[in-house]
Structure 1
Amino acid sequence: MLSNYLEKMLRLYERTDAILITDSNGYIEYSSMVSSDINNFKNAEVTGKHILEVYTSLTEDTSSIMRVLKTGQPIIDEKQIVKNCKGETLYLINSTFPIVVNKKVIGAIEASVYLDELSEEEINHINDKSIKNLYTLDDIITSNESLLEIKNRIRKIATNNSPVLIVGETGTGKELVAQSIHSHSKRSDGPFVSQNCAAIPDTLLESILFGTAKGSYTGAEEKKGMFEVASEGTLFLDEINSMSMGMQSKILKVLEDKKVRRVGDSKEIKVDVRVVSAMNKDPVSAIEKNIIRSDLFYRLSVVQIKLPPLRDRKEDIAILVDSFINKYNREMQRNITGISDLVKGLFDNYAWPGNVRELRNIVESAFNIAKSNTITMQDVPEYLFNSRVNKNKTDTINIGDHSLPDMIENYEKKILLTAISESKNMVDAAKKLKISRQSLQYKLNKYDIQ
């Protein structure tokens, strides 16, 4: 099979200088310098290493190999500037294809032509693409029905220019959604500019958003604001509910007039910007409490997307953990294979107030201290043990075809897993259950709980 792929790749160009094959995770399985004029890596030097380890300037978003592995779609004749781990800068034309067996992507193969140089215009174009590194819909990892519907909705609304308001708790991925909207829009070649409105005071925010005229205040220089910088692209305003009412009225005027006036200037400048905004408070409550102007809310929320918190999409925890493990295995050169059953139980019974961001940070923290290839209870922060989830929810019992002894055993097993997941050690768990350590050990052995 691979020989057929190789033959096809060699026929792509009049002169193919290099062939590279990776597995489904991006680890190099084969590398060959086809042209004798090229003095690059030998196969033995790079086999077993990750593509991002060999070509250090690349990221998951800029590497053609990693993008093909993620999407399963080929990339043809893409020009790249890469720097390898020897410190050499290479100018390439790459064509990259997925290797598919039984409808599953098991790897990628890439053919490269080495160029002596690129024009300044070509270099600037490549650099512009590399700098963006924006999220796409492929980065929204989920099996949750409501979030899958949101992904479908993003595909539909991305092609329009209507303002979008994203509502969600901290850490639910509001900027990820904003970038995805831009990446799949007709404005994707334009700039994506992001500003957290809560990060700076109103007096400074006005000059940042609208720009300044020279001499408008001591030391002021002629400077574009974010509305001008984002022209023909997308401006993402996060935490708009943190702005004062006065600042909100100025934003509203810009949206209605499609013109900005720099601080200290008398002339107005036309801008062509799609505004995507976000807030971490309930909009209706925010309007009632005069936190946000109702007219601004209606103007910004032509399309509204409400992101579910992680506690309402528990089915995504496992696939998110796998994604973060793959990410940090590459970045930290580890070989973590997964999490223990007890950690899984702990994660499933935690409220995740920090949402996906908190989960990602916990996995990254575990990578720094894990001694084995499995993340265990010893590797996760202690504060997780002291949190109880869904205290107000009652368990429902589905009798079905189960006998009473079976249901009692299942319930006892669930209690044991919960107690262990919320305890520092066996002694602590036994105390919580008000049984001896020996009794606890007997029950764990009975249910084969490791």
Structure 2
Amino acid sequence: MSSSMPHSTLDTFLRIYEHILDRMNEGVHVIDAMGTTIVYNHKMTELESMARQDVLHKPLSEVFQFPPGQESTLLTCLRTGNSIRNTRQTYFNDKQKEITTINNTYPIIENGQIVGAMEIANDVTKMERLIRENLLQKNGSRYTFEQIIGKSTPILDVIENAKRAARTSSSVLVVGETGAGKELFVQSIHNASLRAAGPLISQNCAALPDSLIEGLLFGTARGAFTGAVERPGLFEQAEGGTLFLDEINSLSMPLQAKLLRALQEKSIRRIGDTKDRSIDVRIVAAINEDPVEAIANQHLRKDLYYRLGVVTLFLPPLRERKEDIPILTSHFIEKYNELFQMEVTSVSEDVLQFFWEHDWPGNVRELQHLIEGAMNLMIDETTIRYDHLPLHFLRRTPASVVVPVQQQPSVLSFTEDGRSLKETMQEFETAYIHHVVDRYNGNISRAAKELQISRQSLQYRLRKLGIKG
């Protein structure tokens, strides 16, 4: 940059450069020839959990600590004058928090002299998470025990028992209501076991009729029936890994008998074939009703239950671990903030009260869908209110808790106040909607019918116009 540039122009350029640096997705850290920080962008403050004023204009070696025998890549680059590419570095900030980054570091040279060094850093934590997720996707699973949300005693006890079961290859039966997280536990068991490198094959036994599920499980031989081809079944596809059979109580009794034989003999026979094939597969099954009741109702063979239930995990329904609702709610809000590019921070007191009083027949999955549905109905709000909840929840609200609609004039009086058409139309819309909703005593469905719009559209307008209904 020219030294003859006017001072005001120079200041403007510096502000522009600073603005650009703070919008970058990578951390940028620059030191001068003395090792003192002269540039430290916003992303770097996030990566290192440091305030900018605690780093700028201070010697780097006094702010950060490095393991014995290791030196900062910035200081190494400054000392040697050599670029350092794609180097992983672990160090500690002034609060002893461990930081791990992947860095590209370059010397700054003017007139043949090293006058500083700059570093572009990426958060290795995110990168490693993406790599781990890709590896998990390859074996058909993506969940681990660390991703199970909950601090209550019931869920912690199940997690501990599941971790113990993961150490062996015994069959596991997971008992839990719909939406309680059975598949999450199954995937976690697989990924914590010695079979983690093998495949995890999942099949919902209620999804197909017996005539199809048998061929799917055991495979078919050519000519077994018209159009049959040589095809391996799920047992063979899961060789060396885990086969997860969900809703196993939906299988017919004859098919359960064939499954029991496969488990006992550790071999299967394809439909239409004459030879048995050895299998090395761990079976994890799930059931959505009490096993004793399933046996009594002839939904589950007693001998198959004893064979599968070597380890039985009973997942608690959400109504029995309501102390986990706040942490689960925060988790789902964070998840959909990222997906929807929103900035929701909390739920209102009446929503939280509803969560505590609700019996959650759909369990954690119901809570997740409720949060997702509520955030779909929000605009710029940061708190989930009761009126943001999906329609089927709003219909459960007793009439006694409906907030009465304020009386509004049914006719607008126009004055010469210089308002725009948009402002006037908005005032008329507000007044008219008030009038109609009030006429039906806050009944949104009847008001929407009168206005000839959908209930959801009316709720959107009520929120947009700031009308409480």
TM-score between the two structures when normalised by the length of structure 1:
0.62
Residues 329 and 371 in structure 2, CA contact (< 8 A), matched pair in contact too:
yes
Alignment of 1:39-438 (within 5 A): 95=88, 109-111=101-103, 129-131=136-138, 132-371=140-379, 372-385=381-394, 387=396, 423-426=401-404
Aligned-residue offset at 1:314: 0.6
Query: CA contact under 8 A between 2:28 and 2:41: conserved in structure 1?
Result: no
The 3 A distance-change label for structure 1 pair 199 and 98 is: farther
SS in 2 for 1:213: coil
**Aligned counterpart, 1:7:** none
Question: Which of 12, 23, 26 is residue 30 of structure 1 equivalent to?
Answer: 26
Shift in alpha-carbon separation, 1:321–1:265, aligned structure 2, 3 A: same
Q: CA deviation at 1:137?
A: 0.4
Alpha carbons of structure 1 residues 362 and 234: separation in structure 2 relative to 1, 3 Å: same
1:350 corresponds to which letter in structure 2? H
Shift of 1:248: 0.2
Change over 3 Å in CA distance of 1:112–1:284 after alignment to 2: farther
| Partner SS for 1:178 | helix
1:186 and 1:100 mapped to 2: Cα distance? 37
Cα distance, 1:425–1:49 mapped onto 2, change above 3 Å: farther
- Quote the RMSD (CA, aligned, Å): 3.6
CA distance in 2, matches of 1:144, 1:354: 19
User: Which whole-Å deviations, capped at 9, do the CAs of 1:329-379 have from their partners, x for residues lacking one?
Assistant: 111111111111111111111111000000000111111111211111111
Alpha-carbon distance in structure 2 between the residues aligned to 1:94 and 1:127: 22
> CA, structure 1 residues 281+215, in 2 after alignment: closer, same or farther (shift >3 Å)?
same
Counterparts of 1:316 and 1:99, CA distance in 2? 33
Inter-CA distance 360–183: structure 2 relative to 1 (3 Å threshold): same
Shift of 1:152: 1.2
2:174 partner SS: strand
Structure 2: distance between partners of 1:219 and 1:189: 35
Corresponding residue pairs, total: 313
State the distance in 1 between where 2:186 and 2:290 align: 18
SS in 1 for 2:365: helix
Distance 1:423 1:108 in 2: 52
Tell me the distance in 2 between the aligned counterparts of 1:28 and 1:338: 28
Q: CA deviation at 1:104?
A: 7.1
For 2:89 and 2:369, locate their aligned partners in 1 and report how far apart those are by CA, in whole Å. 33
Distance 1:102 1:244, change over 3 A: farther
Q: 1:277 to 1:104 in 2, by over 3 A?
A: farther
Q: Which has the larger radius of gyration?
A: 2
2-structure distance, mates of 1:359, 1:316: 11
Shift in alpha-carbon separation, 1:423–1:104, aligned structure 2, 3 A: farther
What is the percentage of aligned positions where both structures have the same residue?
A: 42
> C-alpha separation between the residues in 1 aligned to 2:285 and 2:94?
42
Change beyond 3 A, Cα 1:424–1:214: farther
CA distance in 2, matches of 1:196, 1:94: 45
Asked whether the equivalents of residues 88 and 100 of structure 2 are also in contact (C-alpha less than 8 Å), the reply is no
Using the alignment, how far apart are the partners of 1:369 and 1:326 within structure 2? 16
